[in-house]
Amino acid sequence: MSEEILDLIKKRKSVRKYEEKEVEDEKIEKLLEAAILAPSAGNRQPWKFIVIKDEDIISKVTSDPVSRFNQGWMDNGVPLMIAVCADPKVSAKKYGDRGRTLYAIQDTAAAIQNIMLTAAGLGLGTCWIGAFDEVEVSNMLELEPGLRIYGMITVGYPAKESKRPSRKPLSDVVRYID
């Protein structure tokens, strides 16, 4: 791993307070370009990305206590959201149940991480949102049939330096087989 990518990984932290500043289209394009370069099982690329710039829709998703699962920090304002979706049938077609229940999730997770690291490199902050009411948000976004939302990402310019919560030490989570 090059020093550069490790620096970026260290730079990324969940950002939950954003400046009231629009994210430029060129930067959004870069995030999406990074997203589709993620690996996916069998290169099935089951994903679809919904870029939510519309303030009303963002506000609907982030202020509804049901859809946002009572995450009060969203009241600070969210400039941009990306819903990372996939059609699990696309993965299931080649890989059956494992594709549907595992690969589609892994593919979208890899895309999310690519987006977040690229954002960090562009001076943007992000937060991965897993706690939302999928049915409620799918309705709000008028999601196409067959698609599921696997994760949401908030994006914007960080309003303050955020602290990274600590990690378990390597000795707790790694086992070598020599």
Ligand X SMILES: Cc1cc2nc3c(=O)[nH]c(=O)nc-3n(C[C@H](O)[C@H](O)[C@H](O)COP(=O)(O)O)c2cc1C
Residues near ligand X (CB under 6 A) are 13-14, 16, 71, 127-131, 164-165
The minimum distance between CB 105 and ligand X, in angstroms, equals 10
Question: Residue 41 in contact with residue 12, Cβ under 8 Å?
Answer: no
The minimum distance between CB 161 and ligand X, in angstroms, equals 11
Rounded-to-integer distance, Cα 154 and Cα 170, Å: 29
The minimum distance between CB 13 and ligand X, in angstroms, equals 4
Please, which residue, 57 or 133, has the CB nearer to ligand X?
Answer: 133
Please, which residue, 6 or 29, has the CB nearer to ligand X?
Answer: 6
Question: Residue 157 in contact with residue 27, Cβ under 8 Å?
Answer: no
Please, which residue, 40 or 154, has the CB nearer to ligand X?
Answer: 154
Question: Residue 102 in contact with residue 82, Cβ under 8 Å?
Answer: no
Of all residues in this chain, which one has the CB nearest to ligand X in the complex? 130
The minimum distance between CB 163 and ligand X, in angstroms, equals 8
Which CA distances in Å does 170 have to 3, 118, 175?
19, 25, 9
Please, which residue, 42 or 121, has the CB nearer to ligand X?
Answer: 121
